[in-house]
């Protein structure tokens, strides 16, 4: 890789180039190894880390809700600013250390490489999904008890209601494909984090994909675990059945976007047919 002068940068001891990020093939190896570790974490550890992730994403969603409330800078700029605010959630997950269902869809890469079993992958997804839901729901309840919805003379509550009702009104096809596109971007953000060599690099890798999915109006199941309940607590005309249906459909879309469009595509490109792996029985 050349710098502006055209000179070649010296290689480091591990064979990578100076200040360069990890290359995609190395990222694929790191994602696979991370998936193996995640799939075999003890249940209590996994659930506790998932609880944190649900709360972290809820913090990002809280920040997003406040930031877009009362904005007069126009539709696009408002959505972009909201997306930047929401990025806080994944920054806390990645840098702080937590287990997020949508990001863990990348375990499908280790599954495709036969390094984890189907049961191990589904166990991780199930425990993490339950933990994320508990963390997000708890955060919604705590904010409600703290009076956070009253901010801005009730304007924040109005925004929360509008968000929840908009999500519940989505048709199944829209909800599925918004979920698919959302988690393609979320998993790409997580994937890019494996290229980074420091915290600043990870944060930079997170901001643009996450801001994009929020600005584009895509659907994130864990964010909805907070946004639907907080809207309902604020008085949104959303029933439990409609909220459950939205979560189910968006979750299916998230799995398709993360596991199929990111994990399995990169597995085909970088790992399919690779020799020397220790395989496991599915």
Domains identified in the chain, total number: 1
Residues linked to residue 134 through DSSP beta bridges, in sequence order: none
Whether 66 is covered by a domain: the verdict is yes
Whether 7 is covered by a domain: the verdict is no
Residue 41 to residues 117, 120, 123, 233: CA-CA distances in angstroms?
Answer: 14, 10, 10, 34
Query: What is the CATH number for 230?
Result: 1.20.1080.10
Whether 279 is covered by a domain: the verdict is no
- Measured in degrees and rounded to the nearest 5, phi and psi for residue 170 equal -65, 140
**3-class SS at 2?**
strand
Residues linked to residue 11 through DSSP beta bridges, in sequence order: 17
Distance (Å, rounded) from C-alpha 268 to C-alpha 132? 30
Distance (Å, rounded) from C-alpha 254 to C-alpha 188? 12
Domain that includes residue 45, residue range: 24-270
* Total Cβ atoms within 10 A of residue 204: 13
Which is nearest to 223 in space by CA: 55, 24, 20, 16? 55
Q: What is the pLDDT of residue 20?
A: 74
Which is nearest to 246 in space by CA: 225, 230, 261? 225
Which is nearest to 93 in space by CA: 190, 22, 21, 224? 190
* Total Cβ atoms within 10 A of residue 95: 14
Q: What is the pLDDT of residue 1?
A: 38
Q: Which tokens belong to 82?
A: 């909201």
Q: What is the largest CA-CA distance in the chain?
A: 63
Whether 33 is covered by a domain: the verdict is yes
Whether 112 is covered by a domain: the verdict is yes
pTM assigned to the model: 0.90
Q: Alpha-carbon torsion 180, 250, 259, 101, what sign?
A: positive
Q: What is the DSSP string of 82-138?
A: HHHHHHHHHHHHHHHT---TTGGGGHHHHHHTTSS-HHHHHHHHHHHHHHHHHHHHH
Q: Which residues of the chain have pLDDT under 70?
A: 1-19, 275-282
Q: What is the pLDDT of residue 273?
A: 78
Q: What is the pLDDT of residue 7?
A: 39
Q: Alpha-carbon torsion 119, 222, 242, 150, what sign?
A: positive
Distance (Å, rounded) from C-alpha 266 to C-alpha 274? 13
User: Rounded to 5 degrees, what angle do the CA atoms 23, 25, 28 make?
Assistant: 110
Whether 215 is covered by a domain: the verdict is yes
Q: Is 112 exposed, middle or buried (0-12, 13-18, 19+ CB in 10 A)?
A: buried
Whether 16 is covered by a domain: the verdict is no
């Amino acid at each position: 890789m050349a710098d502006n002068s055209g000179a070649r940068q010296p290689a480091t001891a591990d064979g990578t180039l100076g200040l360069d990020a990890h290359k995609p093939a190395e990222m694929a190896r790191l994602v696979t190894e991370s998936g193996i570790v995640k799939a075999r974490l003890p249940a209590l550890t996994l659930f506790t880390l998932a609880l944190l992730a649900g709360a972290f994403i809820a913090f990002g969603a809280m920040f997003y809700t406040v930031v877009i409330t009362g904005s007069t800078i126009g539709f696009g700029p408002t959505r972009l600013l909201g997306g930047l605010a929401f990025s806080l959630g994944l920054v806390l997950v990645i840098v702080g250390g937590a287990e997020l269902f949508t990001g863990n869809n990348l375990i499908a890469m280790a599954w495709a490489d036969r390094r984890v079993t189907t049961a191990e992958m589904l166990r991780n997804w199930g425990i993490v999904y339950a933990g994320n839901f508990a963390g997000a729901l708890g955060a919604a309840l705590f904010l409600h008890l703290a009076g956070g919805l009253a901010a801005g003379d009730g304007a924040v509550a109005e925004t929360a209601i509008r968000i929840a009702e908009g999500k519940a009104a989505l048709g199944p096809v829209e909800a599925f494909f918004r979920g698919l596109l959302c988690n393609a971007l979320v998993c790409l953000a997580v994937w890019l984090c494996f290229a980074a060599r420091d915290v600043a690099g990870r944060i930079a890798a997170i901001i643009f994909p996450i801001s994009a999915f929020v600005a584009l109006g895509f659907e994130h199941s864990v964010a909805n675990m907070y946004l639907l309940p907080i809207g309902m607590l604020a008085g949104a005309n959303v029933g439990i059945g409609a909220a459950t249906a939205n979560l189910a459909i968006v979750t299916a879309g998230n799995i398709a976007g993360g596991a199929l469009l990111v994990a399995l595509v990169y597995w085909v490109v970088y790992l399919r047919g690779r020799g020397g792996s220790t395989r496991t029985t599915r």
